[in-house]
Structure 1
Amino acid sequence: MPVTPLLLLCTVIAVQDGDSLRVRCPDADARPPAVRSVRIHAIDAPEYRQPFGNRARQALRQAVYRRTVRLDCVDTDAYARLVCKVSTVTSAGRPAEDVGLAQVRSGLAWWYQRYADAQAPTDRARYARAQADAQRAGSGLWRDAGRAVPPWQWRRSHPPVHGPR
């Protein structure tokens, strides 16, 4: 179900895997902050039981845990998570690093081209280039590219198991 584009500044309180977070967002009405689940837009990281699954989670955790992030949300998914471009922010609240792009650049996530149409053209180009560069360099999961199975294919043949939270 698409959402009206939504921009939030939130604090990351948990990293669930290499492409999913839990955040606490201040409420404009001064109510207690809302806790939300977030799926990083346009990437798909290896699942918990896949090679590089733990490494992808650790890299994302190192980048964002307990930090303020900017969420540019474009959708909600089937699990009611916000689907957002996630960026770290400067002290002035401006975007600093696109963490989804960093995961792809490190070879710890696939650029999920299925959702590329929802990306800005400049982001599509950056993500395509980042994945091509990671593949060429043999970074992360591309080290053994012949055996790397995209998570969307892997999930079809493996029942869901929740990893560490």
Structure 2
Amino acid sequence: MSTKSICYLFLILSICFQQAYAQEILKGKVVRISDGDTITILDSLNQQHRIRLHGIDCPERKQDYYQVAKDYIGQLCFQKEVNVEILKYDHYKRAIGKVYIDSLEINLALLKSGLAWHFLQFDKSTEYAAAEAEAKLYKRNIWSLKNTIAPWEFRKYQREMRKLNAK
């Protein structure tokens, strides 16, 4: 292999690695709040993007604090410009990311306010764990309840109930 070929191969590989590790930043206006951890933004090309907030899970419909979490995120960012640091895409083709309005990270704000669980299955950050621990300590919102049921457990229970009712 010639020196020119090796240099060309190295250039191609370095470009591939840069693209693989580059964070994708999406900017847009929040036009819909689906629930406490899913929003839709409209970008500068008038394309809509569904965004699932990374590392957290908010109460599901029919759970305590569902509407409070939805209203809270709406007050923070509805009809406002946000930046989304996209980390990946899920099987629903939603972008999974951290949402920022100015310097405020919405994901972290939900945890600190006691309106979300730290979703350890998808995030191991100590910052998110500490935010959840603080909300628990001060019994904020969901943590003020005697018995909290994590949304993933609630969804599992709902699926099992549907199976039983289908029989």
TM-score interval, smaller chain: 0.7 to 0.9
Alignment TM-score, normalising by the size of structure 1: 0.80
In the alignment, which residue of structure 1 is the partner of 2:13? none
In the alignment, which residue of structure 1 is the partner of 2:64? 51
Q: Cα RMSD between the aligned structures?
A: 1.8
In the alignment, which residue of structure 1 is the partner of 2:74? 61
Offset at 1:3? 9.8
Q: Matches of 1:108 and 1:137 in 2, distance apart?
A: 13
Offset at 1:114? 1.1
Q: Is the 8 A contact 1:4 1:74 kept in 2?
A: no
User: Per the alignment, in what secondary structure is the counterpart of residue 39 of structure 2?
Assistant: strand
Offset at 1:81? 0.6
Q: Matches of 1:97 and 1:132 in 2, distance apart?
A: 19
- In structure 2, which of residues 70, 93, 101 is the aligned counterpart of residue 80 of structure 1? 93
Q: Matches of 1:10 and 1:47 in 2, distance apart?
A: 25
Q: Matches of 1:106 and 1:149 in 2, distance apart?
A: 17
CA 1:134–1:12: 2 relative to 1, 3 Å: same
In the alignment, which residue of structure 2 is the partner of 1:135? 136
In the alignment, which residue of structure 2 is the partner of 1:151? 151
Q: Matches of 2:22 and 2:44 in 1, distance apart?
A: 19
User: Per the alignment, in what secondary structure is the counterpart of residue 122 of structure 2?
Assistant: helix
1:35 paired with 2:48, answer yes
1:23 paired with 2:24, answer no
Question: RCO (CA 8 Å, sep 6+): is it higher in 1 or 2?
Answer: 1
Structure 1 residues not aligned, in runs of 5+: 28-32, 90-95, 118-123, 161-165
Alignment TM-score, normalising by the size of structure 2: 0.80
Q: Deviation digits for residues 10-47 of structure 1, max 9, x if unmatched?
A: 110011100000100123xxxxx210100000000000
In the alignment, which residue of structure 2 is the partner of 1:98? 105
CA 1:3–1:114: 2 relative to 1, 3 Å: farther
Structure 2 residues not aligned, in runs of 5+: 1-19, 163-167
CA 1:155–1:4: 2 relative to 1, 3 Å: farther
Amino-acid identity (%): 26
